[in-house]
Amino acid sequence: MTRLIVAAGGGGDAVAAAMIHAALYGDEDQAVILTYAWDRLLIDPVPGPRGPENFTGLLALTPAVWAVPAEARPIAPAGSTLPRLAAELPHTLALIDPRHGVEGVTRQLEKLVDHLSPESIDLLDVGGDILARGDEPTLKSPLADAVTLAACCQVNAPVRLLVAGPGLDGELPLDELRGMRGPLIHTLTARDVEPISSVLEWHPSEATGMLAATARGVRGTCEMRDAGLPVPLTDEGPTVHEVDLDETLTRNQLARAILTTATLDEVEAHSREICGYSEIDYERNKAAWLKEQPPAQLGPEAVLSQLDQFEAEAHSRRVTHTTFRRITEALNLNGSLREDLRQLLINSRPKQYDAPLWRITATTE
C-alpha cells in the first residue's frame, strides 16, 4: 500500500509529511513524498528551485518524475537537503520540477498517480500560506504553494488538502486563518515527532521546527527569518486541519492565474502582477548581495557576546524562542555557518536548547 503526499512548499513540508504520515497512517505502509528541491539560500546559494538537471544519481519513477535517493548529489554550486532526508526517512522522495509551470507539474502528478495507484493523496502545507489570496501584506513565499495547489486541483484523482501548524510560517496571522482552516483531524504530540527527531537536529526548516516544538509542548513567541517575524507558539500550533481544496483554489488568486502556465517564468510574472513580487527575485537580489560579503568567521567569544546582545533585545520584545536561522542572520553570519553556530550554542549553553528551537533568556544561564 502506497500513499502519496505532495509537500506544498518544499523541504520543510517534506519533513512534516513524514511526521504526519506516521501520525495519521501509522507504519503499515510507506509514502512517496513529492517535494521541491528548494532549500533557500541557507543551504543552496543558487536562487529558486532545483530541477533534475541539478542532480546526479536520481532514479526514474516515471519518464517525468525522478526519485532522490540517499546516493544522489546536487551538482555544484547547487545545494540540497533531499539526499540526506532520503537517507534518514523511510519514504521515497520524488522531485517536483516546476520548470514547465503548472502544466508540467500537473503532468508529473498524473503520471505518478497512474504509476502508484496510491491509497490516498494529501497536499500538505505547514503554516497555511496556501490559503492566502495573494495580496496580503504579510505574505512572503506564495509561489511554490500556488503551483502545487493549481496542479493538484487539475489531477483526475481525489486530493485532500491538509494544513498543519496554522500561522507557524509567519505568513498569515492566526486570527485570519481560523475562519479558513477547516475541521481538526489531529493534534500532534511529542510521540508523533519521534520519527523525525534526528532530522530536526540539522534540517533548517523554521515552520516545521516550530510545528515539532509546539507538539513537544513549547509555548511562547518565536522570532524567525532574517526579518525577525514574531510567531505565537500556542495550543493551536500542533493541530492538523483538513481544508476544502476547491474553496482554497477559488480564494488563491495566484493559483488560479497560473493554471495553464507552461514555464516557471510565466509563474513568476503572474506572481509579480498579483502579489507585487516574485520570491525568486528576492533570492536573486540577496544571493548577489551575499557574494559581495567578506568570508565569514565564527569566533566563539565574539559570537557569544553578540548573542547576549541579541537575546537582551529579543527579551525586551517579549520573545521567548528563536530559530537558528534567525540567530545566524541576526549575527550577520553566512548561512553556511548555521550548523557550526548551532553546535557552538548548544555546547556552550545546553539549558537553552528547546529542541529544535533556542530559548531566549534575560541573562545567560
Question: Which H helix or E strand runs over 27?
Answer: none
Asked if 247 and 329 sit in the same domain, the reply is: no
- Under 8 Å between Cβ of 163 and 117: no
Answer whether residue 67 is part of any domain. yes
pLDDT the model gives residue 226: 84
Asked if 253 and 322 sit in the same domain, the reply is: no
| For helices 300-316 and 338-348, angle between their N-to-C axes, nearest 10 degrees | 80
Asked if 228 and 348 sit in the same domain, the reply is: no
State how many domains the chain has. 2
- CA 323/CA 212 separation, integer angstroms: 12
Answer whether residue 214 is part of any domain. yes
pLDDT the model gives residue 184: 98
Asked if 232 and 347 sit in the same domain, the reply is: no
Answer whether residue 77 is part of any domain. yes
SS3 63: coil
SS (H, E, C) 331-346: CCCCHHHHHHHHHHHH
Asked if 203 and 312 sit in the same domain, the reply is: no
Answer whether residue 364 is part of any domain. no
Asked if 84 and 165 sit in the same domain, the reply is: yes
Asked if 45 and 180 sit in the same domain, the reply is: yes
Asked if 162 and 309 sit in the same domain, the reply is: no
Asked if 204 and 88 sit in the same domain, the reply is: yes
Asked if 307 and 252 sit in the same domain, the reply is: no
**H helices of the chain, where?**
11-25, 40-43, 82-88, 101-116, 143-152, 174-177, 190-193, 197-200, 206-215, 245-251, 253-257, 264-275, 279-291, 300-316, 324-330, 338-348
Instruction: List, as one string, the DSSP characters of 272-298.
Output: HHHHSS-HHHHHHHHHHHHHTSPPP--
* 18: number of Cβ within 10 Å: 23
- Under 8 Å between Cβ of 31 and 91: yes
pLDDT the model gives residue 335: 80
Of the candidates 23, 34, 178, 19, which has an alpha carbon nearest to the alpha carbon of residue 92?
34
pLDDT in tens, the chain (365 residues): 799 999 999 879 999 999 999 999 997 778 999 999 999 887 899 999 999 999 999 999 999 999 999 999 999 999 999 999 999 999 999 999 999 999 999 999 999 999 999 999 999 999 999 999 999 999 999 999 999 999 999 999 999 999 999 999 999 999 999 989 899 999 999 999 999 999 999 999 999 999 999 999 999 999 998 889 999 999 999 999 999 999 999 999 999 999 999 999 999 999 999 999 999 999 999 999 888 877 667 889 999 999 999 999 999 999 999 999 999 989 988 888 889 999 999 999 999 999 999 999 976 44
- CA 41/CA 79 separation, integer angstroms: 9
SS3 304: helix
C-alpha cell of residue 59:
532514479
Domain that holds residue 245: 2-257
Asked if 20 and 83 sit in the same domain, the reply is: yes
Answer whether residue 208 is part of any domain. yes
- Under 8 Å between Cβ of 141 and 9: yes
- Under 8 Å between Cβ of 156 and 110: yes
Answer whether residue 271 is part of any domain. no
pLDDT the model gives residue 89: 95
Answer whether residue 344 is part of any domain. yes
- CA 159/CA 70 separation, integer angstroms: 28
Q: pTM of the entire structure?
A: 0.96
Asked if 204 and 315 sit in the same domain, the reply is: no
In the block, cell 495550543 appears at 235
Answer whether residue 279 is part of any domain. no
